[in-house]
Amino acid sequence: MAAEVRIIGLHGLPDIKPGADLVAVILEAAQGQGVTLTDDDVLVVTQKIVSKAEDRLVDLRMVTPSAFARQVAKAQEKDPRVLEVVLRETRRVVKMDQRTLIAETHHGFVCAHAGVDESNVAGEDTVALLPVDADASARRLREGIRVKTGVELAVIIADTFGRPWREGLVNVAIGVAGIEPLKDYRGLPDTEGRVLKVTTLAIADELASAAELVMGKLDKVPVAVIKGYAYTRGAGSATQLVRRPEKDLFR
Amino acid sequence: MAAEVRIIGLHGLPDIKPGADLVAVILEAAQGQGVTLTDDDVLVVTQKIVSKAEDRLVDLRMVTPSAFARQVAKAQEKDPRVLEVVLRETRRVVKMDQRTLIAETHHGFVCAHAGVDESNVAGEDTVALLPVDADASARRLREGIRVKTGVELAVIIADTFGRPWREGLVNVAIGVAGIEPLKDYRGLPDTEGRVLKVTTLAIADELASAAELVMGKLDKVPVAVIKGYAYTRGAGSATQLVRRPEKDLFR
């Protein structure tokens, strides 16, 4: 295990518009800060700028809420057009009450309001959706960086999700490329020689959470470079982080 | 937000026995590695060595399983004595099936098997319990370090917990001292000037997850020093990270 892990926030990125070349923007920011990317680095990118670059923005003025969306919005004191967008992004409503709607998205992620985001997007009448396939987004970023620099690093697309039982949101991985998101210790002996039973760590989520420490919510630090973590290379997919329904007591 | 956060694992700690002076052991390891502790640092300590030092070990040979413990153990193919200990640590069974028992502990934490740990503890017939009050454990460590060095840093006691919906365990905070575990962005304007609605980040959990990156499971790195994260000082308590039942759709 490495003695030291460093997390470097990339700042000074411009506002990301639909169609923006994220690879160019990220490489420029890294260069501007004197950060040299290597194969051993993990690049963590917030979902927000990926969704913006991929034009996953919805103009609410074009949205006609259904009767159900209007009803839920009234109960939750929210914009019925936003609820309509949330329902369109929802494969299954996991739970709902007067405050929130927990959705299973079409990707299989379980999160509040299907990941539909009203903050930090351009204009009052715009919301951002999750990328259609954040693994593919991560792969495109990884490939773009490889083509321009020859560097083959790991890429994680991250978003802040709530969770049951515990207060507060934490950053988790919704897309990965070039890294195995889970680290399996099962079958290995512990420090006392006893075999570990159920220890699979969600490394990609821990890397996403670590990256959040330099990102914050209000600052324009949408990208972090993690150096010194000996990640396991692999094709990897964030779908590995989605607990299979038959293994999930809470679905 | 800081441009760079560093996570340094402390290695070379001796095996921790009941009654061990953790403050001395940690300071010695830090000094041996040339790590200078400051008021701005966050010290993350794994629950395991805290539980050992506080003699939260149970000799299973002294445990007589109840009828219910025997029944659950049979269904789950586990040691009935371990199940008995799990049930004693349990305030409420949240869910159970043929594989696992999700417990609300006496602290209010929700986790598999009430945090009772069979790995990395001395001997086949020994299990480790969570600290009685990990906030108090964190405060004692913080105060001990202050007395010996004059440094007033933040302390987090961390353990790996599973969670619904997502695969794999992540490190979370079960005790804190000197740090506000939640960071509240509600009411602040986002980058577009829109007011953020529901954004409270579980900073202490993210710090615990970040620390896990240098700790691993098999290596003897039970302590990490996090430098460069501008944490919010405060009395703080890990109970702030326990979602109140009336706010939790899943309890």
What phi, psi does B59 have (nearest 5°)? -85, 110
Residue A119 has pLDDT above 90, yes or no: no
Count of CA atoms in the C-beta half-sphere (13 A) of A93: 13
pLDDT (mean) for A69-89: 96
B10-20 per-position pLDDT tens digit: 998 999 999 99
Indicate the residue type of B3: A
Are B161 and B91 found together in one domain?
A: no
For residue B8, the chain A residues in CB contact (below 8 A) are 3-4
Q: Between B184 and A202, whose confidence is greater? A: A202
- Interface predicted TM-score (ipTM): 0.94
Residues 127-186 on A with a CB inside 8 Å of B are: 160, 163-172, 181-183, 185
Q: Between A151 and A98, whose confidence is greater? A: A151
Residue B195 has pLDDT above 60, yes or no: no
Are B140 and B35 found together in one domain?
A: yes
**Closest partner CB to B190 (pick from A120, A183, A215):** A120
Are B196 and B75 found together in one domain?
A: no
Are A78 and A189 found together in one domain?
A: no
A191-227 per-position pLDDT tens digit: 555 555 658 999 999 999 999 999 976 657 999 999 9
B54-92 per-position pLDDT tens digit: 999 999 999 999 999 999 999 999 999 999 999 999 999
| B74 belongs to a structural domain | yes
pLDDT (mean) for A75-93: 96
Is A248 an interface residue toward B (CB < 8 Å)?
yes
Residue B191 has pLDDT above 70, yes or no: no
B11-45 per-position pLDDT tens digit: 989 999 999 999 999 999 999 999 999 999 999 99
pLDDT (mean) for B198-218: 89
| B6 belongs to a structural domain | no
A34-44 per-position pLDDT tens digit: 999 999 999 99
Q: Is this model's pTM higher than 0.90 or not?
A: yes
| B3 belongs to a structural domain | no
For residue B201, the chain A residues in CB contact (below 8 A) are 160, 168-170, 212, 217
Residue B121 has pLDDT above 90, yes or no: no
Q: Number of CB pairs < 8 Å for A and B?
A: 251
Let me know the angle formed at the C-alpha of B178 by B224 and B217, rounded to the nearest 5 degrees: 25
Are A177 and A220 found together in one domain?
A: yes
Are A166 and A211 found together in one domain?
A: yes
Q: Between B234 and B196, whose confidence is greater? A: B234
- Of B128, B160, B179, the residue that ends a domain is B128
For residue A182, the chain B residues in CB contact (below 8 A) are 167-168
Nearest to A7 by CA among A50, A44, A47, A49: A44
pLDDT at B192: 55
| CA A16 – CA B196 distance, rounded (Å) | 19
Q: Where are the alpha helices (DSSP H) in A9-66?
A: 22-32, 47-53
Residue B188 has pLDDT above 50, yes or no: yes
Residues 58-77 on B with a CB inside 8 Å of A are: none
Tell me which residue range forms the domain holding A25: 6-54+152-241
Residue B190 has pLDDT above 70, yes or no: no
**How would residue A2 be classed by pLDDT, with cut points 50, 70 and 90?**
very low
Residue B168 has pLDDT above 80, yes or no: yes
**Closest partner CB to B217 (pick from A33, A196, A217):** A196
- Do A164 and B120 lie within an 8 Å CB cutoff? no
**How would residue B216 be classed by pLDDT, with cut points 50, 70 and 90?**
confident
- Do B214 and A2 lie within an 8 Å CB cutoff? yes
- Of B128, B158, B186, the residue that ends a domain is B128
Nearest to B134 by CA among B239, B12, B14: B239
Highest mean pLDDT among A1-10, A194-203, A235-244: A235-244
A132-149 per-position pLDDT tens digit: 999 999 999 999 999 999
pLDDT (mean) for B94-107: 92
pLDDT at A1: 41
Percent of chain A with pLDDT over 70: 92
Residue A127 has pLDDT above 80, yes or no: yes
- Of B128, B151, B174, the residue that ends a domain is B128
For residue A196, the chain B residues in CB contact (below 8 A) are 119, 217-218
Whole-angstrom distance between the N-terminal and C-terminal Cα of chain B? 35
| CA A51 – CA B110 distance, rounded (Å) | 34
Tokens 């990897």 correspond to A236
CATH at B82: 3.90.1660.10
Q: Which residue of A has its CA nearest to B110?
A: A165
Average pLDDT, chain B: 91
Are A217 and A158 a contacting pair, CB within 8 Å? Answer: no
Is B101 an interface residue toward A (CB < 8 Å)?
no
pLDDT (mean) for B138-156: 98
| A146 belongs to a structural domain | no
pLDDT at B247: 79
Residue B229 has pLDDT above 70, yes or no: yes
Are B29 and B141 found together in one domain?
A: yes
Is A35 an interface residue toward B (CB < 8 Å)?
no
pLDDT (mean) for A166-194: 85
| CA B87 – CA B127 distance, rounded (Å) | 13
Least confident of A43-47, A84-88, A123-127, A180-184: A123-127
Percent of chain A with pLDDT over 90: 81
Average pLDDT, chain A: 91
| B90 belongs to a structural domain | yes
| B179 belongs to a structural domain | yes
Is A105 an interface residue toward B (CB < 8 Å)?
no
Residue B172 has pLDDT above 90, yes or no: yes
pLDDT at B118: 84
Are B100 and B110 a contacting pair, CB within 8 Å? Answer: no
Are B147 and B225 found together in one domain?
A: yes
Are B112 and B28 found together in one domain?
A: no
- Do B110 and A165 lie within an 8 Å CB cutoff? yes
pLDDT at B2: 45
Are B91 and B69 found together in one domain?
A: yes
Are A169 and A231 found together in one domain?
A: yes
| CA B128 – CA B132 distance, rounded (Å) | 12
| CA B53 – CA B124 distance, rounded (Å) | 19
**How would residue B238 be classed by pLDDT, with cut points 50, 70 and 90?**
very high
Q: Which residue of A has its CA nearest to B33?
A: A3
Residue B101 has pLDDT above 70, yes or no: yes
CATH at B211: 3.30.1330.100
| A69 belongs to a structural domain | yes
Is A215 an interface residue toward B (CB < 8 Å)?
yes
Are A203 and A96 found together in one domain?
A: no
What ranges make up the beta strands (E) of chain A? 4-10, 42-46, 57-59, 90-96, 101-105, 110-112, 126-128, 154-161, 170-177, 183-184, 200-201, 223-227
**How would residue A189 be classed by pLDDT, with cut points 50, 70 and 90?**
low
| B2 belongs to a structural domain | no
pLDDT (mean) for A83-98: 95
Counted domains in chain A: 2
